[in-house]
Amino acid sequence: MKKILLVSIATILMFNAKAQREDEEEKGLGFRQENVFIGGSITLGFGSSSGYGGGTKFVIGANPEIGYTIVNWVDAGIVFNTIYSSMKYSENYIRYRQTALNLGVGAFVRIYPVSNFFLQAQPEFNTIKYTDKNLDQTNIPVNSQKVKANSFLVGVGYGQRVVGKFNFFTVIMMDLGKEYYSPYRNSYNEAIPIIRSGFNWYLRPSKKRR
């Protein structure tokens, strides 16, 4: 998965560089301050497991981001994650609750094939602290562990986007990676749908003449 993450980031960077060169050749402009945007989104995720013991998972988090509109149909940038998740499951007829606190960073690219609709790809690297509590045997100590995991989110979204002003968006994504400790997969390593809704605003145009 690490190789997938590195290749994905390298591909995004190469794509961004190529798109930016084409835009500069077309308009004769370099970096434009008004194309920089900041903002973020709120993450919601939910799902249930079809495996033995059942299990449901709920995910909520905040995702600040900074990005750049390379051309009118391509945005790219960096996103940060602070995600909390909670899951109930059973093992050998004993009920457990697993909670997790995830801190991560990733890169994203959004491609708008048509107005307002976009495709998004987002490789991430996450550090997660998991805590498992036995719900039926209260005398059992809580078990905690800290792990690292990569994720590769891909999805589709809709947004009201005016380049140079604002962008309001909602996107639904799934983790195409297979890492067991990914915050976007349940205890049976099944991907759960992730919904992110957020708002970005663009920096003011530079007053410097070009």
**Structure confidence at residue 28 (pLDDT):** 47
The pair phi, psi for residue 139, each rounded to 5°, is: -85, -5
**Which residue shows structure tokens 């890492």?**
179
**19 vs 92: which has the higher pLDDT:** 92
The pTM for the full model equals 0.73
Per-residue pLDDT at 46 exceeds 90 = no
User: How far, in Å, are 51, 124, 148, 153, 194 from residue 2 at the CA level?
Assistant: 27, 10, 11, 14, 21
Question: Taking all residues of the chain, what is their mean pLDDT, rounded to a whole number?
Answer: 82
**Structure confidence at residue 27 (pLDDT):** 53
**Structure confidence at residue 209 (pLDDT):** 43
> Residue 105's CB: how many other CB atoms inside 10 A?
12
Task: Give me the percent of the chain exceeding a pLDDT of 90.
Answer: 44
* Range from 14-28, 35-49, 95-109 carrying the lowest mean pLDDT: 14-28
**Dihedral sign of CA atoms 126, 61, 56, 157 in order:** negative
Average pLDDT over residues 46-75: 80
**Structure confidence at residue 52 (pLDDT):** 44
Fold of 2-202: Porin (2.40.160)
Residue spans of the domains in the chain: they are 2-202
Average pLDDT over residues 76-103: 86
**79 vs 9: which has the higher pLDDT:** 79
Q: pLDDT (tens digit, 9 = 90+) per residue, 141-184?
A: 888 889 999 999 999 999 999 998 999 999 999 999 989 888 88
Residues with Cβ within 8 Å of residue 19, at least 6 apart in sequence? 70, 71, 74
Would you state the structure tokens that stand for residue 58, as one six-digit string? 């709920």
By the 8 A CB rule, do 109 and 123 touch? no
Residues with Cβ within 8 Å of residue 149, at least 6 apart in sequence? 1, 125, 126, 128, 179, 180, 181, 182, 183
Q: pLDDT (tens digit, 9 = 90+) per residue, 127-136?
A: 999 888 888 8
